[in-house]
């Protein structure tokens, strides 16, 4: 784990000249929004109040993962996916799945009422702009991901690689090569929260990687990536960017 | 008359970090008038909500919990004391 050692950033001190970010749960704090949604589910399904929120999150994550690839394509809409996830939660805790629709409504209302960037992202972008090329490599539907970039005021970027547009899903090397070509760079440092998609995907094409590990999961292989717990203080990530390329 | 507009977090930097702002509009004003009033007080916010004269596709606006898409869109009328909520439709983490 990189210590939060303060080292003033000066132009030209980076070894990397470009940085690529994952979008969901790296720049945009979807987990924060999901937690709000799941608390609302506990209100609608009071039997779940005895379930610790962390446990409910894990169960919900399993449901998300089970449908992940289907939601990237056209076979499952977000609304259908939400209902399936709530049905899965109901089944897990022995509740009638007929109650899942109300839970899904409550979930989405609270989830969408709590949009935010991961803490530190705005300051980090401010520090990086003009000093490094910045891009995004993200799995998802084009319209949804571009809407998010716009709403959260993350544009302009030097590269935007979205799986639906590129025709390759992380960790497929093709999507990283596409992003590098957009950047006009041979190499870049990839920052993301997914070990499989971001770290393994990026290092697989020879890029450096920084693993955003906000929830203190065990690191599968410290030799592959620099690990950070968050973007605050911003000097922490700037230090990591230098370290990642040494 | 005044209506209260609730601002989502990522847009609050345009409203001096206020979560809710009072907007003064004429009687029988519409959501379009409210947005214009919001823009007068907080320049730049209209562009984040509206594109080519229409509410952006990922922005939902509710008047007292009713989605204006199902009323009259930008032409939806507001009245004294109404609560206007701006909620982005952010996909992901379904």
pTM of this structure? 0.86
Is the pLDDT assigned to residue B92 strictly greater than 90?
Answer: no
Ranked by mean pLDDT, the top range of A3-7, A67-71, A214-218, B12-16 is B12-16
Contact B91 A113 (CB under 8 A): no
B90·A28 Cβ contact <8 A:
yes
Contacts 24+ apart (CB under 8 A), A198-202: A198/A22, A198/A26, A198/A137, A198/A170, A198/A171, A199/A224, A199/A225, A200/A171, A200/A224, A201/A170, A201/A171, A201/A172, A201/A173, A201/A175, A201/A176, A202/A20, A202/A176
Percent of chain B with pLDDT over 90: 90
Mean pLDDT across chain B, nearest whole number? Answer: 93
Cα–Cα–Cα angle for B89, B91, B94, nearest 5°?
Answer: 115
pLDDT of residue A11: 33
- Please determine, for residue A243, whether its predicted confidence score (pLDDT) is greater than 80: no
Give the Å distances, CA to CA, from B84 to A18, A68, A108, B53, B56: 41, 34, 18, 19, 16
- B60 in contact with A, Cβ within 8 Å: yes
Q: What is the rounded CA–CA span in Å between residue A217 and residue A2?
A: 15
The confidence score (pLDDT) of residue A244 equals: 54
Over 60: is that where the pLDDT of A88 sits? Answer: yes
A73 to chain B, any CB pair closer than 8 A? The answer is: no
Please name the member of A25, A78, A117 whose beta carbon is closest to the beta carbon of B94: A78
Size of the A and B interface in Cβ pairs below 8 Å: 68
| Averaged pLDDT for residues A223-232 | 92
- Hey, are the CB atoms on A147 and B91 less than 8 Å from each other? yes
Distance from CA of A29 to the nearest CA of B (A): 10
Nearest residue to A73 via CA among A169, A190, A8: A169
**Averaged over A82-107, what is the pLDDT?**
95
The Cα A217–Cα A193 span in angstroms is 10
Under a CB-based contact definition with an 8 Å cutoff, are residues A244 and A210 in contact?
yes
pLDDT tens-digit readout, A159-180: 999 999 999 999 999 999 999 9
What's the gap in Å between the CA of B35 and the closest CA on chain A?
Answer: 17
Per-residue tokens: A217: 């999961």
Most confident of A93-107, A224-238, B79-93: A93-107
Q: What is the pLDDT of residue A15?
A: 67
Residue A156: predicted pLDDT: 96
Contacts of B87 in chain A (CB under 8 A): 112-113
pLDDT at B41 over 70: yes
What's the average model confidence in pLDDT over A32-59? 95
A66 or A91, which is more confident? A91
Say yes or no to pLDDT of A2 above 70. Answer: no
Residues on chain B touching A67 (C-beta within 8 angstroms)? 94
Instruction: Collapse the DSSP code of A27 into the 3-class scheme (helix H, G, I; strand E, B; otherwise coil) and give the result.
Output: coil
């Amino acid at each position: 784990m990189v210590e939060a050692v303060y080292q003033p950033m000066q132009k030209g001190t980076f070894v990397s000249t470009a940085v690529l970010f994952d979008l969901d749960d790296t720049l945009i704090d979807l987990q924060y929004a999901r937690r709000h949604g799941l608390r609302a589910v506990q209100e609608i399904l009071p039997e779940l109040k005895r379930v610790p929120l962390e446990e409910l999150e894990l169960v919900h994550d399993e449901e998300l993962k089970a449908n992940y690839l289907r939601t990237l394509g056209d076979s499952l809409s977000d609304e259908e996916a939400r209902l399936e996830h709530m049905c899965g939660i109901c089944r897990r805790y022995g509740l009638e799945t007929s109650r899942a629709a109300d839970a899904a409504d409550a979930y989405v209302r609270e989830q969408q009422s709590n949009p935010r960037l991961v803490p530190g992202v705005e300051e980090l972008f401010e520090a990086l702009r003009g000093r490094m090329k910045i891009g995004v490599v993200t799995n998802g539907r084009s319209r949804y991901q571009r809407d998010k970039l716009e709403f959260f005021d993350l544009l302009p970027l030097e590269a935007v690689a979205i799986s639906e547009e590129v025709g390759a899903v992380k960790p497929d090397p093709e999507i990283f090569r596409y992003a590098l070509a957009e950047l006009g760079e041979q190499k870049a440092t990839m920052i993301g929260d997914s070990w499989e998609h971001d770290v393994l995907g990026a290092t697989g094409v020879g890029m450096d990687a920084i693993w955003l590990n906000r929830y203190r999961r065990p690191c599968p292989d410290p030799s592959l990536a620099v690990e950070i717990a968050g973007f605050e203080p911003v000097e922490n990530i700037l230090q990591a960017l230098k370290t990642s390329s040494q | 008359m005044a209506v209260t507009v609730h601002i989502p977090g990522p847009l609050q930097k345009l409203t001096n970090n206020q979560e809710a702002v009072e907007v003064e509009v004429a009687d029988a004003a519409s959501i379009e008038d409210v947005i214009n009033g919001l823009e007068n007080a907080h320049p730049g916010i209209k562009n984040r909500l509206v594109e080519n004269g229409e509410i952006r596709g990922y922005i939902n606006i509710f008047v007292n919990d009713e989605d204006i898409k199902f009323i009259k869109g930008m032409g939806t009328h507001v009245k004294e004391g109404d609560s206007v909520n701006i909620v982005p439709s952010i996909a992901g983490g379904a």
